[in-house]
């Protein structure tokens, strides 16, 4: 009986770890069975296109959560980068404007990181301030208008970005997957990568081990800024337009996916690949909902419900953990004898 | 020991005296005074007109009274150490929509049902965050989305108008007056609400049993629990208060716009947090005051007013506000740290 | 001895000082430790032990004075520099990252690599090797720290430090969370490390331990080094005298308790997996001691008595009335109070003032119709500050700025203020200096004289034995023995707690 319990515990923790894959398979199967026009190349490609942007952004956001911080500004960085990249195209060309956009994202992340790590302001506040400031900047720069590029080169690049290298995989998707895999391997398999977890798990331990927590926190914010910028600019280049609500939904999208993927808000736990799979799952779900003839409103509602269920589930796990932590197994055995 | 270190020592040994507490509050009103002086200065230079007039001063308060109402309630959540209630925007939207829908049964039915809905949302937050101890930021964000979904499913993306639904002209007029009623032709009803709430909440936070227990809970939740404080209920109450002021805000904004729509209240969560934090309340909980929060609201009002008078565009105002916000908070954090209170 | 004169010390500090804003924590201290030696560092709280240890660990970049390792002058201004010089620390308050795996905690900063990647197999096997040295072979290296018990974590901490193959090992109260068997095992490990030529600094409050394990001992007081002695040349009394600065006579009390009015009766109280079928009674004015090793279930029992945790079975009867409180607030109303062992996280709100803390459990009683009467608490507040000589006697002072001893007095005052019928004290003097200890002990006795029932949980044997009128021994979740005052000695309690002589 005791033995069973241990096995159950192991199974549960495995379940926690792989729940997102199970969820993906489930959503995919249900949609394939019930949603009309779901399983075809065109639809799957369109799913992957959405995944490409939010999946890239989720990389940075996951690392932010791993070091125990929060970045509310990712949505505005996406738009900001798109605006810079496309807005400067006419003047300097993509060759300069795209790197500039990505650098801008990195700089914004750097400012966030410095304020959090060095000035020691809560990241919720810092990135909230950044969100407000960037929102203003975006509208000031654009005057509230969508930026569109219309020259031949822009269209050529847009076309290239839409072509399928292999079925369903466009260049943007490939870039996203390469980034996800690289960061996943980096975080899981290198010492430097593991240090991010240590910083979020217990910054004192990290410091005593000679790991500079401040540096890792700053780098996490820079990565977050750069990833958001890459996600934003590539999306805008593909559509040859930077709309001002480009990143509006991304915060909720990416935050939900990261939490559902099993990354903890408390820091020290999580994974980039799982976040990516979670983005894929959510996107598939939303896509299916639309194909089922249900509106955007149902999609919003369901995403809230899913996030809420995951939060409740995690609260339950925590509760269960608190209840049994410190129990003496020999005393429990005694109980069984009496029974 | 260098002079600098000597100075640090002196600050550290300062106790939480009457004086230092007042100084903290004075900090934010110092900024208020600074902005007023700036306004006077600019007016003297002739850069702006009509700053120092009664009507402009009333305008400033009037413009932020809705934000103030929401911020004063949300302050209880921040004070409890639970950051913020991000479900405020849709709470405002939903209560407004429900009120408009219920106008078909008269004005009072509308108000009562809005408050019932607001209370329910508050209780859901209270249960999830107080009882189940889930992370307040993601939980309220999730609830915000669920509520948004509910609104858009039920009202199918339609906007509803009081004058098309209400049972009588009288009901429409009453509803319109939530925002438009003026006393002595000058003082707006939301401003009255703000002032009443200010005195009431100041009393509740600093003088009531609940307020003291909330302070201890915010400063050290576990110790509070071990002191026999029912922390679940105390935290829950903070979220209910926040939902109720959001309801007031929702009714006011809906009355102002004369339309019930899902986007009413968008952005009010972050705006309110900004005011609270500028007002000197730290996210760590148990520190700050309602007086400070009102100061934060006034600073935002003054800032907006000055920028508008200067002809700064709405969008640039956002940008400047964000930057000033970070600067104020940064200075605040630094000051607290030199005083030996590392909790910003 | 002669060979030591030739040897260079493995670690030496000369005239080292560290200034905090306002105080000099360590003042021109000389300290050295030779290879193959255990050098104990003792002193009251606030004597500068922790600061000295933090200097060795490289936690400060602003100490003054010189530090030598194997005769070479070094600079220890970051933890990384200390590590590079072969210094390893074992901290009292664990420095492990809870959500991270045991393996990564043990091997932090030196995870084995194959190329640029981490070698997982090697990581697991290396961790296993380190864990087996401290008797933790049964732990899966890949589970996170949050899934193992507190005392296992303490052993992981030790395994982590030893795994770095240090030449200088500093231990701060390493036995505080360990059971007797584990302490024995640790001492065996220390002994073998000594034979291997490690230089060990051993910081402890616990004098008998020092006589068991140390070669030399250095006493600190008020940031100064008082003296360094060979352990064989000094007695326990002399050490205490050096630590306190004046001679203290042990405060054994011999009054026999004669009250017989039963106040609290507990029958077959059980929380599954923590303690089973615990029955006892306590009288008015009695101090009932509960002895036992850490992890015996004593604090868990206390938490159930005040309804912080749910009981699974059993009855609690207070003054003839069965108590069924569902939360701490109700238990408080019934007349229970609980001073928990962890003052920083469970006892005090350190960011609030002395006033807020002392009155925190009194808020409902000081309120009428939901309005809190601030002035009403002042008399009791000022009285307690004076009675317990809380320093500084300023009720508006933030608690985080007080010394450990004064913080503990504030915590004690908080629970005296509620005037409980039954006061449960869980390690009421852990980590406080002797001055504060005496004041707290006097307060406990005064409370008993007033007719309150005290349940005293303590691992400090002299305290337990001298204060208690009667001692119950708890072991592995059961009450195994009751001892009257006459048969209580430190030895008999310790033996019983270890399951011997029952």
In this prediction, residues A118-137 reach a mean pLDDT of: 91
In whole angstroms, give the CA distance from residue B120 to residue C129. 56
In this prediction, residues B218-236 reach a mean pLDDT of: 95
pLDDT confidence band for B339 (50 / 70 / 90): low
Chain A residues whose CB is inside 8 A of the C274 CB are: 326-328, 331
pLDDT confidence band for C433 (50 / 70 / 90): confident
Predicted local distance difference test score (pLDDT) of residue A2: 43
3-state secondary structure C27-76: EEEEEEECCCEEEEEECCCCCCHHHHHHHHCCCCCCCEEEEEECCEEECC
Are the CB atoms for B118 and B243 separated by under 8 Å? yes
Listed ranges B204-208, B312-316, C150-154; the one with the highest mean pLDDT: B204-208
Compare B203 and C108 and report the one with higher pLDDT. B203
The DSSP code sequence of C411-444 is HHHHHHHT--SEEEEESTTTT--HHHHHHHHHHH
| Contact status of C326 with chain B (Cβ, < 8 Å) | no
Predicted local distance difference test score (pLDDT) of residue B22: 58
Predicted local distance difference test score (pLDDT) of residue B344: 39
Residue A194: pLDDT over 70 = yes
In this prediction, residues C439-453 reach a mean pLDDT of: 94
In this prediction, residues C170-191 reach a mean pLDDT of: 81
Tell me the pLDDT of chain C averaged across its residues: 87
Residue A5: pLDDT over 60 = no
Q: C454: which residues sit within 8 A by CB, 6+ positions away? A: C286, C287, C288, C422, C423, C424, C425, C444, C447, C448
Predicted local distance difference test score (pLDDT) of residue B5: 34
| Residue range A254-308, pLDDT digits in tens | 999 999 999 988 899 999 999 999 999 999 999 999 999 888 888 888 888 988 9
Using alpha carbons, list the distances in angstroms from residue B108 to B113, B196, C141, C147: 8, 21, 65, 55
Residue among C26, C15, C4 nearest C67 (CA): C15
Residue B75: pLDDT over 50 = yes
Chain A residues whose CB is inside 8 A of the C87 CB are: none
In whole angstroms, give the CA distance from residue A91 to residue A98. 12
pLDDT confidence band for A7 (50 / 70 / 90): low
In this prediction, residues A221-230 reach a mean pLDDT of: 98
| Residue range C11-46, pLDDT digits in tens | 999 999 988 765 678 899 999 999 999 999 988 766
Within-domain flag for B177: yes
Chain B residue whose CA is closest to C333: B228
Q: Which of A133, A144, A307 sits opposite B319 (nearest CB)?
A: A133
Residue C252: pLDDT over 70 = no
pLDDT confidence band for C416 (50 / 70 / 90): very high
Chain A residues whose CB is inside 8 A of the B145 CB are: 252, 300-301, 303-304, 307
* Distance spanning both ends of chain C, measured CA to CA: 44
Residue of B93, B124, B133, B138 to mutate, testing the A interface (most A Cβ within 10 Å of its Cβ): B138
Predicted local distance difference test score (pLDDT) of residue A1: 40
Within-domain flag for B268: yes
| Residue range C103-127, pLDDT digits in tens | 999 998 888 998 889 999 999 999 9
pLDDT confidence band for C415 (50 / 70 / 90): very high
Peptide bond into C392 cis (omega under 30): yes
Predicted local distance difference test score (pLDDT) of residue B315: 83
Six token digits for residue A106: 């990195």
Q: Is the Cβ pair B229, C363 closer than 8 Å?
A: yes
Q: Which of A209, A327, A328 sits opposite C109 (nearest CB)?
A: A209
Within-domain flag for B120: yes
Distance (Å) from the C-alpha of residue B226 to the closest C-alpha of chain C? 6
3-state secondary structure A18-51: HHHHHHHHHHHHHHHHHCCCCCCHHHHHHHHHHH
In whole angstroms, give the CA distance from residue B304 to residue B283. 24
Chain C residues whose CB is inside 8 A of the A205 CB are: 95-97, 105, 108
- Tell me the residue range of the domain where B179 lies: 29-331
Q: Is the Cβ pair A315, B134 closer than 8 Å?
A: yes
In whole angstroms, give the CA distance from residue A70 to residue B83. 12
pTM: 0.89
Predicted local distance difference test score (pLDDT) of residue B330: 84
Within-domain flag for B2: no
Residue of A69, A71, A118, A125 to mutate, testing the B interface (most B Cβ within 10 Å of its Cβ): A125
Q: Are strands C478-484 and C321-322 parallel, antiparallel or unpaired?
A: unpaired
Six token digits for residue C442: 């006097």
Residue B47: pLDDT over 70 = yes
Predicted local distance difference test score (pLDDT) of residue A324: 75
Chain A residue whose CA is closest to C78: A210
Listed ranges A2-16, B33-47, C87-101, C410-424; the one with the highest mean pLDDT: C410-424
CATH, residue B216:
1.10.3470
Are the CB atoms for C418 and C337 separated by under 8 Å? yes
Predicted local distance difference test score (pLDDT) of residue A133: 92
Residues of A with CB under 8 A from a CB of C: 185, 189-191, 194, 197-198, 200-202, 204-211, 264, 266-269, 321, 324-332, 334-335
Residue A3: pLDDT over 70 = no
Six token digits for residue B273: 């947090």
Residue B108: pLDDT over 70 = yes
Query: For chain B, what is the domain count?
Result: 1
Region of C387 on the Ramachandran plot (φ > 0 left; ψ -120 to 50 alpha; else beta): alpha
Region of C46 on the Ramachandran plot (φ > 0 left; ψ -120 to 50 alpha; else beta): left
Q: Is the Cβ pair A295, B334 closer than 8 Å?
A: no
Alpha carbon C475 to its chain centroid, in Å, reads: 19
Distance (Å) from the C-alpha of residue A66 to the closest C-alpha of chain C? 11
Q: Give the full edge-to-edge strand order of the sheet including C37-42.
A: C87-90, C168-172, C199-203, C37-42, C216-221, C224-230
Within-domain flag for B17: no
Residue among B35, B14, B69 nearest B299 (CA): B35
Residue B254: pLDDT over 50 = yes
Residue C409: pLDDT over 60 = yes
Residue of A10, A194, A209 to mutate, testing the C interface (most C Cβ within 10 Å of its Cβ): A209
Predicted local distance difference test score (pLDDT) of residue C254: 56
Chains contacting C (3+ CB pairs below 8 angstroms): A, B
Residue B303: pLDDT over 90 = yes
Listed ranges A19-23, A101-105, A206-210; the one with the highest mean pLDDT: A101-105
Chain A residues whose CB is inside 8 A of the B337 CB are: 120
Q: Are strands C117-118 and C113-114 parallel, antiparallel or unpaired?
A: antiparallel
Q: Is the Cβ pair A129, B329 closer than 8 Å?
A: yes
Predicted local distance difference test score (pLDDT) of residue C390: 93
Q: What percent of chain A has pLDDT over 70?
A: 94
Residue C5: pLDDT over 50 = no
Predicted local distance difference test score (pLDDT) of residue B28: 84
How many CB atoms within 10 Å of residue C86? 18
pLDDT confidence band for C368 (50 / 70 / 90): very high
In this prediction, residues A202-223 reach a mean pLDDT of: 91
Within-domain flag for B23: no
Residue B196: pLDDT over 90 = yes
Predicted local distance difference test score (pLDDT) of residue A214: 94
| Contact status of C415 with chain B (Cβ, < 8 Å) | no
Within-domain flag for B159: yes
Are the CB atoms for A62 and A259 separated by under 8 Å? no
Chain A residue whose CA is closest to C152: A326
* ipTM above threshold 0.95: no
Question: Which of B266-270, C293-297, C472-476 is predicted least confidently?
Answer: C293-297
């Amino acid at each position: 009986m005791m033995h069973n319990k241990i096995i159950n515990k192991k199974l549960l923790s495995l379940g926690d770890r792989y729940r997102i894959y199970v969820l993906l398979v489930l959503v995919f199967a249900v949609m394939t069975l019930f949603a009309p026009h779901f399983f075809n190349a065109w639809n799957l490609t369109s799913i992957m296109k959405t995944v490409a942007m939010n999946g890239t952004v989720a990389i940075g956001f996951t690392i932010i959560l791993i070091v125990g911080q929060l970045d509310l500004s990712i949505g505005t960085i996406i738009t900001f980068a798109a605006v810079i990249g496309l807005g400067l195209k006419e003047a300097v060309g993509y060759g300069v404007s795209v790197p500039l956009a990505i650098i801008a994202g990195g700089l914004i992340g750097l400012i966030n990181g410095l304020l959090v790590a060095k000035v020691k302001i809560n990241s919720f506040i810092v990135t909230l301030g950044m969100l407000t400031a960037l929102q203003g900047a975006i509208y000031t720069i654009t005057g509230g208008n969508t930026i569109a590029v219309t020259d031949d080169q822009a269209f050529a690049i847009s076309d290239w970005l839409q072509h399928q290298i292999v079925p369903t995989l466009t260049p943007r998707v490939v870039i996203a997957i390469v980034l996800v895999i690289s960061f996943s391997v980096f975080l899981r398999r290198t010492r430097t990568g593991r240090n991010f977890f240590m910083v979020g798990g217990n910054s004192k331990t990290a410091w005593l081990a000679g790991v500079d927590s401040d540096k890792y926190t700053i780098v996490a914010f820079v990565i977050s800024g750069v990833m958001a910028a890459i996600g934003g600019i590539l999306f805008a280049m593909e559509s040859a337009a930077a709309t001002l609500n480009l990143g509006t939904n991304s915060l909720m999208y990416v935050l939900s996916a990261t939490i559902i993927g099993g990354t903890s808000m408390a820091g020290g736990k999580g994974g980039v690949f799982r976040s990516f799979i979670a983005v894929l799952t959510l996107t598939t779900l939303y896509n299916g909902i639309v194909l089922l003839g249900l509106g955007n409103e149902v999609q919003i509602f369901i995403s809230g419900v899913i996030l809420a269920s995951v939060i409740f589930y995690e609260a339950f796990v925590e509760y269960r953990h608190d209840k049994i932590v410190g129990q003496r197994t020999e005393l429990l055995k005694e109980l069984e004898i009496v029974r | 020991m260098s002079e600098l270190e000597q100075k640090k020592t002196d600050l550290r040994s300062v106790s939480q005296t009457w004086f230092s507490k007042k100084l903290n509050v004075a900090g934010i009103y110092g900024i208020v005074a600074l902005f007023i002086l700036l306004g006077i200065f600019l007016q003297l230079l002739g850069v702006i007109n009509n700053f120092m007039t009664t009507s402009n001063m009333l305008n400033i308060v009037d413009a932020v009274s809705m934000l103030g109402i929401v911020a004063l309630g949300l302050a209880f959540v921040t004070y409890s150490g639970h950051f913020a209630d991000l479900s405020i925007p849709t709470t405002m939207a939903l209560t407004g929509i429900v009120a408009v829908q219920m106008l078909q049964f008269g004005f009072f039915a509308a108000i009562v049902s809005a408050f019932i809905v607001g209370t329910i949302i508050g209780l859901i937050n209270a249960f999830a965050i107080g009882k189940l101890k889930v992370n307040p930021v993601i939980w309220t964000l999730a609830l915000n989305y669920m509520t948004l979904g509910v609104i858009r499913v039920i009202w199918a993306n339609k906007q509803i108008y009081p004058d098309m639904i209400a049972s009588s002209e009288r009901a429409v007029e009453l509803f319109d007056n939530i925002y438009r009623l003026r006393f002595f032709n000058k003082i707006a009803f939301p401003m009255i609400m703000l002032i009443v709430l200010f005195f009431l909440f100041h009393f509740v936070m600093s003088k009531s049993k609940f307020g003291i227990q909330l302070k201890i809970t915010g400063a050290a939740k576990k110790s509070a629990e071990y002191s026999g404080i029912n922390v679940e209920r105390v935290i829950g109450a903070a979220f209910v208060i926040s939902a109720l002021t959001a309801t007031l805000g929702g009714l006011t904004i809906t009355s102002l716009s004369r339309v019930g729509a899902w986007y009413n209240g968008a952005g009010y969560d972050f705006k309110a947090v900004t005011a609270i934090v500028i007002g000197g309340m730290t996210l760590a909980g148990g520190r700050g005051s309602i007086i400070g929060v009102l100061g934060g609201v006034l600073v935002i009002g003054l800032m907006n007013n000055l920028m508008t008078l200067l002809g700064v565009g709405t969008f640039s105002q956002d940008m400047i506000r964000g930057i000033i916000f970070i600067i104020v908070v940064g200075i605040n954090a630094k000051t607290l740290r030199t005083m030996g209170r590392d909790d910003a | 001895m002669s060979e030591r004169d030739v040897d260079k010390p493995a670690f030496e500090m000369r005239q080292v000082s560290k200034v905090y804003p306002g105080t000099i924590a360590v003042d021109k201290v000389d300290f050295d430790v030779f290879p193959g030696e255990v050098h104990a560092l003792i002193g009251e709280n606030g004597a500068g032990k922790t600061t000295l240890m933090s200097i060795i660990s490289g936690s400060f970049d602003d100490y003054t004075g010189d530090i030598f390792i194997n005769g070479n002058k070094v600079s220890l201004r970051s933890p990384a520099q200390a590590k590079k010089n072969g210094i390893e620390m074992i901290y009292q308050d664990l420095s492990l990252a809870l959500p991270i795996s045991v393996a990564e905690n043990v091997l932090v900063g030196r995870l084995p690599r194959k190329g640029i990647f981490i070698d997982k197999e090697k990581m697991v096997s290396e961790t296993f090797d380190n864990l087996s040295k401290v008797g933790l072979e049964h732990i899966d290296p890949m589970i996170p720290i949050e899934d193992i018990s507190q005392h296992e974590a303490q052993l992981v901490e030790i395994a982590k430090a030893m795994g770095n193959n240090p030449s200088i090992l500093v231990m701060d109260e390493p036995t505080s969370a360990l059971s007797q068997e584990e302490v024995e095992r640790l001492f065996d490990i220390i002994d073998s490390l000594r034979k291997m030529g490690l230089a060990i600094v051993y910081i402890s409050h616990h004098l008998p331990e020092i006589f068991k394990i140390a070669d030399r001992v250095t006493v600190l007081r008020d940031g100064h080094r008082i003296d360094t002695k060979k352990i064989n040349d000094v007695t326990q009394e002399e050490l205490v005298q050096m630590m306190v600065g004046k001679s203290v006579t042990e405060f054994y009390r011999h009054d026999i308790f004669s009250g017989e009015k039963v106040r609290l009766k507990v029958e077959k109280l059980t929380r599954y997996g923590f303690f089973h079928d615990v029955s006892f009674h306590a009288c008015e004015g009695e101090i009932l001691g509960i002895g036992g090793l850490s992890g015996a279930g004593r604090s868990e029992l206390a938490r159930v008595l005040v309804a912080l945790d749910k009981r699974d079975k059993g009855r609690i009867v207070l003054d003839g009335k069965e108590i069924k409180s569902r939360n701490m607030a109700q238990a408080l109303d019934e007349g229970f109070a609980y001073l928990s062992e962890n003052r920083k996280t469970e006892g005090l709100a350190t960011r609030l003032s002395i006033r807020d803390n002392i009155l925190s459990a009194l808020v409902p009683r000081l309120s009428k119709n939901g309005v809190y009467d601030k002035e009403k608490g002042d008399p009791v507040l000022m009285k307690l500050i004076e009675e317990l000589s809380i320093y500084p006697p300023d009720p508006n002072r933030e608690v985080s700025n007080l010394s450990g001893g004064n913080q503990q007095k504030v915590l004690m005052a908080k629970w005296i203020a509620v005037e409980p019928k039954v006061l449960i004290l869980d390690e009421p003097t852990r980590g406080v200096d002797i001055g504060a200890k005496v004041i707290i002990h006097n307060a406990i006795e005064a409370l008993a004289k007033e007719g309150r029932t005290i349940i005293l949980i303590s691992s400090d044997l002299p305290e337990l034995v001298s204060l208690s009128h009667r001692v119950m021994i708890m072991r592995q979740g059961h009450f195994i023995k009751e001892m009257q005052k006459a048969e209580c000695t430190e030895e008999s309690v310790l033996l019983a707690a270890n399951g011997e002589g029952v």
